[in-house]
């Protein structure tokens, strides 16, 4: 049972590596995609994905191909607060369909006439044939990437609560959350997300939380992990991570010495750790990141950072 935390400050490769883990977990390492059904409630219809009034907030491109591979998990949720893993929703070969959670659609209800579709658990139904939309998207499409759009912090937390509850009721789910300290802070975590963290093992729910601020992350997440991956951290975040480390001698010094793209993975069940470089890994799915800013060169020039060759070329001109 893999319950994992990935800790590292911005620019060290934490999110890239987190996406690599998801790629391996959700595609058995081959990068091949997975898409959902069109939304009408049948597996063999001829509707185009997003056709009609089914589920227009799920992005599937020109039409979602059928599931054609067996997956280890029946369901998967990735809450992508900063929309960095767009590649997982590639319109040609999507692995996770994107659900854009806006203030309007998070509050909507979906009503069914007649018999309730079989893919919605009975205990999810409220007041007859109604179900909150985020949960319906999850049960319908199985593999989803959730991107909050225009939500307040409180609305985002409510959204994650809905999804955590849905994952626990479905079972056999991989649940992942980037920038986890924004949702599961040490000062407060929702009851349903806490239930997933502490009780997911019983339901076959495995999870991955990524954060650059482990000192702000809820204690129970750090204490429940089976694996922790440490990238370079600063100050109190480094010290907090080092407190968690059990088998790593001089953990704070080792974490502080990590170069960009280098990491340490600790297996708590075995009491072992291993240092590795993500430079030795490859991703089939593109990662979108704002780490490499366009304005960096201007500030680097002010600090005298640049090659001598470039300086000489400028002088010649």
pLDDT tens for each residue of the chain, 317 residues long: 689 999 999 989 999 999 999 998 888 655 554 444 333 334 444 434 333 233 334 443 333 323 333 447 899 999 999 999 999 998 888 899 999 998 887 777 777 777 766 677 777 776 666 778 888 889 888 999 999 999 998 889 989 999 999 999 999 999 999 999 999 888 888 899 999 999 999 999 999 999 999 999 999 999 999 999 999 999 999 999 999 899 999 999 999 999 999 999 999 988 999 999 999 888 888 888 755 566 767 777 777 766 444 444 443 33
In Å, how far are 74, 80, 139, 199, 289 from 293, measured between CA atoms?
Answer: 38, 20, 38, 40, 9
Q: Measure the CA–CA gap between 148 and 98, rounded to whole angstroms.
A: 10
3-state secondary structure of 278: helix
The per-residue pLDDT for 221 is 94
**Measured at the alpha carbon of residue 207, what is the angle toward residues 160 and 36, in degrees to the nearest 5?**
70
Q: What is the sign of the dihedral through the CA atoms of 286, 289, 295 and 299? A: negative
Does the pTM exceed 0.75? yes
Question: Nearest-CA neighbor of 165 among 126, 201, 128, 138?
Answer: 138
The token pair at 38 is 């069109």
The residues, ordered by sequence, that sit 6+ positions from 276 with a Cβ below 8 Å of its Cβ are 262, 263, 264, 265
The residues, ordered by sequence, that sit 6+ positions from 13 with a Cβ below 8 Å of its Cβ are 231, 260, 261, 263, 278
Number of Cβ within 10 Å of residue 9's Cβ equals: 18
Residues 258/264, Cβ–Cβ less than 8 Å: yes
- What phi and psi, each to the nearest 5 degrees, are found at residue 163? -70, -40
Residues 209/219, Cβ–Cβ less than 8 Å: no
- Residue with tokens 């479905």, as numbered in its chain: 170
Residues 76/142, Cβ–Cβ less than 8 Å: yes
Residues 260/13, Cβ–Cβ less than 8 Å: yes
The per-residue pLDDT for 233 is 96
- What phi and psi, each to the nearest 5 degrees, are found at residue 18? -60, -40
| CATH topology classification for 3-316 | Rossmann fold (3.40.50)
Kindly state the helix (H) or strand (E) to which residue 50 belongs, with its residue range: none
Question: Nearest-CA neighbor of 6 among 170, 172, 232?
Answer: 232
Question: Nearest-CA neighbor of 278 among 2, 24, 38?
Answer: 24
Please provide the distance, in angstroms rounded to a whole number, between the alpha carbons at the two ends of the chain: 62
Residues 139/121, Cβ–Cβ less than 8 Å: yes
The per-residue pLDDT for 46 is 44
Residues 16/287, Cβ–Cβ less than 8 Å: yes
The per-residue pLDDT for 131 is 78
């Amino acid at each position: 049972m893999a319950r994992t935390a990935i800790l590292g400050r911005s620019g060290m490769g934490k999110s890239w590596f987190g996406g690599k883990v998801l790629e391996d977990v959700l595609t058995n390492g081959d990068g091949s995609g997975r898409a959902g059904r069109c939304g009408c409630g049948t597996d063999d219809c001829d509707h185009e994905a997003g056709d009609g009034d089914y589920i227009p907030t799920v992005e599937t491109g020109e039409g979602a191909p059928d599931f054609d591979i067996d997956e280890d998990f029946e369901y998967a949720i990735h809450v992508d607060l900063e929309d960095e893993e767009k590649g997982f929703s590639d319109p040609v070969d999507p692995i996770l369909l994107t659900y854009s959670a806006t203030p309007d659609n998070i509050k909507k209800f979906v009503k069914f006439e007649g018999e309730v579709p079989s893919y919605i658990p009975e205990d999810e139904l409220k007041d007859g044939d109604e179900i909150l939309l985020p949960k319906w998207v999850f049960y319908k499409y199985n593999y989803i990437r959730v991107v909050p759009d225009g939500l307040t912090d409180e609305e985002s937390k409510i959204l994650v609560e809905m999804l955590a509850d849905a994952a626990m009721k479905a079972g056999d789910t991989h649940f992942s959350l980037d920038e986890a300290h924004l949702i599961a802070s040490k000062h407060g975590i929702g009851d349903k997300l806490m239930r997933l963290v502490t009780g997911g093992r019983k339901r076959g729910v495995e999870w991955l939380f990524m954060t650059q601020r482990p000192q702000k992350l809820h204690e129970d997440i750090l204490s429940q992990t089976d694996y922790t991956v440490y990238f370079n951290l600063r100050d109190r975040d480094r010290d907090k991570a080092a407190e968690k480390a059990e088998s790593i001698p001089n953990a704070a010094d080792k974490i502080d010495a990590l170069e960009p793209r280098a990491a340490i993975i600790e297996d708590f069940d075995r009491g072992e750790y291993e240092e590795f470089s993500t430079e030795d890994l490859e991703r089939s799915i593109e990662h979108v990141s704002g780490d490499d800013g366009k304005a960096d060169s201007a500030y680097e020039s002010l600090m005298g950072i640049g090659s001598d060759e470039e300086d000489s070329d400028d002088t010649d001109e």
